[in-house]
């Protein structure tokens, strides 16, 4: 590195430092002036509305102005209006009224849930207040679903939900998905309720100790999409039992039979024979060819010449001939 290049870098560093010091000096000067103006404003006893304007308009004085606003002892409705104000949301100031709302006894559950969902750093406080009340199953589910709420609180919400006489299926499914410590209890309650098959499938996949009970309910009147998921889960012996049911359906289902073809090579031909007898469109046949290479040629041979295919074929011929014609002109 030459002396000249070193000198240029040195000069640049000096200028950068000088600029930073100048900016810092300006910032300090502005801050001192704002502090002086604030000291001048307070004795004039500004109204709560005027203090709010300072909160919105001066980032430097924001915390001081908000504290002064709190000291005016604003009412619940006033703070609630600030929380719902779109301007506050736009400028990222909603946390100020949100935190203050948590101190009001009359704050309703819906606002607590909204704060919990929107502001993770206030989720614990919001959930704690909710759990001291008798929240609805919907609000309990929101607590369970919030990753910002500590696990013990989510388990507490799950406990209340499981013991509730008005427990709904979605809430119990959320417990299985999000609260491992209470998952088996929630699953047992769902089994007692003869829940829909997609719920039984969740139990089957998530709670191994209850897989047999879930399968027993599924196998009574199996839904094709559920059979497909069990086949692809490769959980023995249930996946083999699901294959038998899928192949034996009175109304064959494309997706469950495709699952058989993908996962069970020894049953592939059985499933393929059933699929070949169905009136499959080209898209379904393409999917078979793509996902089951063993029958790719047969699947492609069954494809029907569609209008779209014919158009593409004719257009390719047009372009080919046109290219030949242009080449001959030269």
Do 254 and 280 form a contact (C-beta atoms < 8 A)? yes
- Write the CA distances from 30 to 24, 33, 85, 89, 90, integer angstroms: 10, 5, 29, 27, 25
Region 1-21 average pLDDT: 46
- pLDDT the model gives residue 264: 92
Q: Is the pLDDT of residue 319 over 90?
A: no
- Give CA–CA dist 172/177, Å, rounded: 9
Tell me the percentage of the chain whose pLDDT exceeds 90: 55
Core vs surface per residue 63-83: b (16+ CB within 10 A) or e: ebbbebbbeeebeeebbbebb
pLDDT in tens, 139-165: 999 999 999 999 999 999 999 999 988
Question: pLDDT class for 57, splitting at 50, 70, 90?
Answer: confident
- Give CA–CA dist 115/142, Å, rounded: 11
Give one DSSP letter per residue of 103-139, joined into a string: T-TT--HHHHHHHHHH-GGGHHHHHHHHHTS---HHH
Sign of the alpha-carbon dihedral angle for 146, 150, 155, 157: negative
Question: pLDDT class for 90, splitting at 50, 70, 90?
Answer: confident
Region 131-136 average pLDDT: 91
Q: Is the pLDDT of residue 12 over 50?
A: yes
- Please report, in angstroms and rounded to a whole number, the separation of the first and last CA atoms in the chain: 58
Question: pLDDT class for 77, splitting at 50, 70, 90?
Answer: very high
Tell me the percentage of the chain whose pLDDT exceeds 70: 87
In this structure, what token pair is assigned to residue 8?
Answer: 């240029």
Mean model confidence pLDDT for the chain = 85
Q: Is the pLDDT of residue 120 over 50?
A: yes
- pLDDT the model gives residue 153: 96
pLDDT in tens, 250-291: 888 999 999 999 999 999 999 999 998 888 888 888 898 898
- pLDDT the model gives residue 328: 61
- Give CA–CA dist 243/255, Å, rounded: 12
Question: pLDDT class for 14, splitting at 50, 70, 90?
Answer: very low
- pLDDT the model gives residue 91: 78
Question: pLDDT class for 329, splitting at 50, 70, 90?
Answer: low
Do 189 and 162 form a contact (C-beta atoms < 8 A)? yes
Do 229 and 201 form a contact (C-beta atoms < 8 A)? yes
Q: Is the pLDDT of residue 102 over 90?
A: yes
- pLDDT the model gives residue 8: 44
Residue 12: which residues within 8 A CB-CB, separation 6 or more? none
Sign of the alpha-carbon dihedral angle for 99, 102, 108, 112: positive
Q: Is the pLDDT of residue 76 over 70?
A: yes
Question: pLDDT class for 195, splitting at 50, 70, 90?
Answer: confident
Region 304-317 average pLDDT: 67
Residue 2 or 127, more confident = 127
- Give CA–CA dist 292/284, Å, rounded: 12
Least trusted range by pLDDT, from 3-12, 58-67, 243-252, 284-293: 3-12
- pLDDT the model gives residue 16: 54
In this structure, what token pair is assigned to residue 157?
Answer: 């919400």
- pLDDT the model gives residue 87: 81
- pLDDT the model gives residue 96: 94
In this structure, what token pair is assigned to residue 229?
Answer: 């998921």
- pLDDT the model gives residue 18: 46
């Amino acid at each position: 590195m030459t002396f000249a290049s070193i000198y240029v870098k040195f000069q640049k560093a000096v200028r950068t430092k000088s600029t930073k010091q100048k900016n810092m000096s300006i910032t300090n000067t502005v801050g001192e002036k704002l502090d002086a103006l604030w000291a001048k404003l307070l004795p004039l006893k500004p109204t709560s509305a005027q203090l709010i304007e300072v909160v919105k308009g001066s980032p430097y004085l924001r915390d001081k102005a908000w504290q002064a606003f709190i000291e005016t002892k604003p009412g619940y409705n006033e703070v609630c209006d600030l929380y719902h104000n779109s301007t506050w949301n736009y400028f990222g100031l909603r946390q100020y009224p949100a935190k203050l709302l948590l101190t009001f006894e009359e704050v309703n559950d819906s606002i607590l849930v909204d704060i919990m969902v929107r502001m993770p750093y206030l989720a614990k406080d919001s959930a704690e207040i909710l759990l001291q009340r008798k929240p609805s199953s919907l609000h309990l589910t929101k607590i369970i679903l919030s990753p910002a709420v500590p696990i013990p609180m989510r388990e507490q919400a799950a406990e209340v939900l499981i013991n509730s006489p008005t427990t709904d299926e979605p809430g119990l499914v959320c417990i299985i998905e999000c609260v491992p410590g209470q998952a088996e209890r929630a699953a047992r309650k769902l089994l007692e309720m003869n829940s829909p098959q997609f719920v039984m499938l969740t139990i089957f996949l998530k709670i191994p100790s209850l897989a047999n009970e879930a399968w027993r309910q599924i196998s009574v009147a199996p839904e094709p999409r559920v059979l497909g998921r069990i086949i692809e889960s490769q959980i023995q012996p249930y996946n083999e039992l699901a294959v038998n049911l899928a192949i034996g359906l009175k109304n064959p289902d494309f997706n469950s039979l495709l699952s058989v073809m993908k996962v069970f090579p020894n049953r592939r031909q059985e499933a393929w024979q059933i699929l070949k007898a169905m009136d499959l469109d080209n898209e379904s046949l393409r999917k078979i060819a793509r996902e089951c290479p063993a029958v790719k040629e047969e699947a492609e041979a069954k494809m029907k010449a569609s209008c779209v295919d014919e158009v593409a074929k004719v257009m390719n011929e047009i372009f080919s001939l046109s290219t030949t014609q242009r080449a001959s002109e030269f």
